Homo-oligomer: A and B are copies of this chain.
C-alpha cells in the first residue's frame, strides 16, 4: 500500500542489466572520500545500517549473514584442518568473525586496502567486528595483490577473496596472475574461495572465466556454490572455490553438524545444497 509521506530511498542501478535495487533510508549518517573510494553509511528503516562504496551496496545489518557465512564455512569445512587463513579484502570484518568461530584456526590475517572501511564498520557494524580483538586475528591494511605476491610458498591453508566487484581497485584480484600467487602460497589441499557475482547476470562474464583462470593457474578442482543475497544485483549470488589436488564436493560433514557455534544460514545440509548447481550452470562449467 502506497504511503503519502515523502520517503527517502538509496538506489543502486545495475545499468548493464537494466535493474535496480533500493532501500528506504531514515538518515544518511556518514560520508567520506577515503584515499581509495567514496564511502557512505545510511540508517535504513528496515535493514539496519547500509554501507556503500562508490555508490554500490556493500552490506546491510539485516542480510549480511548470508554472504559472510557462505564465504567462510563451506571452505573451512572442506579443508581437512585449516589453521592459517588469509582474507583479501573483507574490511567489514564479517568474514573474519565467521572464520574465527572455528576453534582449529590458529591465525587469520585480513589484508584490506582501505582502513576506513574497517574503522567505520567498527562504529556502525560492531557485531561484525566482535572478533577483531581475538589474539588469532591480524588486521593488515595494504594491497592484497602485492601481499600475495610476496607470500611464502606453502604458508596458507585457505585464502578468502572477499572483495568488491572486478572493476576499480579489485580488478587485479580476478584473474590468472593473482590466482598463480595464491596457488603458490597455499599448502597441500589448500583452498581459494572468491565471491563470483550473480549466477543469473554474470555467469558468462565472471563465473565461467573464473573457473578457466583458476584452472590455468594450476588448481585441479573448481566448484561454485550459490546462495541468496538480497541486496546484491538479482538477489542471487555465488562463491567459487579452487583447490590444489583434492576435490571440493566432500566436506567434514560430521564436524559441520557438530559445529560449536551458531549460524543463521549455514548448516551441513545447506552446504551440500549450495553446491547443487542449476542445470544451466552444470552444463557450462568443467567437471
Identify the A interface with B (CB < 8 A). Answer: 1-3, 9, 11, 13, 15, 17-24, 44-47, 63, 199-200, 226, 228-230, 234-236, 263-267, 269-270, 272-280, 282
Contact = CB atoms under 8 A, between A and B. Distances in A.
Copies in the complex: 2
Contact of A278 (B23, B200, B265, B282): B265
A278 B271 CA distance: 10
Nearest to A24: B18
Contact of A279 (B17, B264, B277): B264
Contacts of A19: 21-24, 46-47, 230
A221 B263 CA distance: 26
Q: Give the 8 A-B residue pairs with the shortest CB-CB distance, closest first.
A: A235-B235, A273-B276, A273-B273, A18-B46, A18-B24, A228-B236, A269-B276, A20-B22
10 contacts: A1-B15, A19-B23, A20-B20, A20-B21, A20-B24, A22-B22, A230-B235, A263-B279, A267-B279, A269-B276
B21 A21 contact: yes
Contacts of A264: 278-280
A269 B277 contact: yes
Nearest to A230: B234
A150 B19 CA distance: 44
A3 B263 CA distance: 41
A244 B17 CA distance: 43
B200 A63 contact: yes
Contacts of A15: 1-3
Contacts of A263: 279
A22 B13 CA distance: 9
Contacts of A229: 235
A267 B272 contact: no
Nearest to A266: B279
